[in-house]
Amino acid sequence: MLLDLSEEHKEHLAFLPQVDSAVVAEFGRIAVEFLRRGSNPKIYEGAARKLSVSSDTVQHGVEGLIHLLTESSKLMISELDFQDSIFVLGFSEELNKLLLQLYLDNRKEIRTILSELAPDLPSYHSLEWRLDVQLASRSLRQQMKPSVTIKLHLNQNGDHNTQVLQTDPATLLHLVQQLEQALEEMKTNHCRRVVRNIK
């Protein structure tokens, strides 16, 4: 699958051959850093001064790179497809090689970052448990009521969330049984076939 680069995108990237490869490599590093942490406009100004161009030009160049990298990572295009896609830009072989390397080096991390943008449900982090026996309460003395207290740690959007819950022994066994069945499902023929064939 080839990338479809818009005219505007191509224009922005056209800045890259005008600087030497060390600068392009630096832009690449900035691009990935911006993906990790968010953009920092001051960097554009510093670079613009050093290169004697407008900061807009630098910004477009870096953003062009960011877009190139994210689109390629999102679609997980092959090396060959990447090379063919940027071929239309008419860059030197050296620049093409640099861009390819930039893609290959960073795509795993970029995909991880992109996966964090997905609609987010709280996800499981860990679980602590404790066994208790209730002996008495204000309304009833001389009890022997066993229970399991559970502290469930969940993550959502980077926030750590804790829930304290309780259950009785019978329900605990039921939970274990149900969730074991859930795990077993992945091993069934049906699921195996789906995993094998949808790739």
Partner 1 sequence: MELSEYVQKGFQMLADPGSFDSNAFTLLLRAAFQSLLDAQADEAVLDHPDLKHIDPVVLKHCHAAAATYILEAGKQRADKSTLSTYLEDCKFDSERIELFCTEYQNNRNSLEILLGSIGRSFPHITDVSWHLEYQIKTNQLDKMYRPAYLVTLNVENTDSRSHPEISFSCNMEQLQDLVGKLKDASKSLERATQL
Distance CA 18, CA 198 (A): 43
Q: Token digits for 6? A: 């818009």
Map tokens 């870096």 to a residue: 62
Residue 104: CB minimum distance to partner 1, A: 16
Residue 196: CB minimum distance to partner 1, A: 11
The answer to whether 115 contacts partner 1 (rule: CB under 8 A) is yes
Residue 79: CB minimum distance to partner 1, A: 15
Tell me which of 29, 49, 50, 111 binds partner 1, using CB under 8 A: 111
Question: Is 136 buried (19+), middle (13-18) or exposed (0-12) by CB count in 10 A?
Answer: exposed
Distance CA 17, CA 132 (A): 69
Nearest to partner 1 of 59, 70 (CB atom): 70
How many residues belong to the site for partner 1 (CB under 8 A)? Answer: 58
Scan residues 154-193 and list those touching partner 1 (CB under 8 A). 154, 163-169, 171-176, 178-180, 182-183, 185-186, 191
Q: Per-residue contact track with partner 1, 63 to 82, x per CB under 8 A? A: -----------xxx------
Distance CA 154, CA 187 (A): 26
Distance CA 92, CA 103 (A): 17
To the nearest 10 degrees (0 to 180), the angle between helices 21-37 and 41-51 is 170
Window of 19-27, 58-66, 80-88, 142-150 that interacts with partner 1 by CB under 8 A: 142-150
5: helix, strand or coil: coil
Window of 18-26, 55-63, 80-88, 147-155 that interacts with partner 1 by CB under 8 A: 147-155
Provide the H-helix boundaries in the chain: 7-13, 21-37, 41-51, 55-75, 79-87, 93-115, 169-185, 189-197
Scan residues 11-70 and list those touching partner 1 (CB under 8 A). none
Residues that bind partner 1 in the complex, under the rule CB under 8 A: 74-76, 111, 114-115, 117-119, 121-124, 126-129, 131, 137-143, 145-150, 152, 154, 163-169, 171-176, 178-180, 182-183, 185-186, 191, 194-195, 198-199
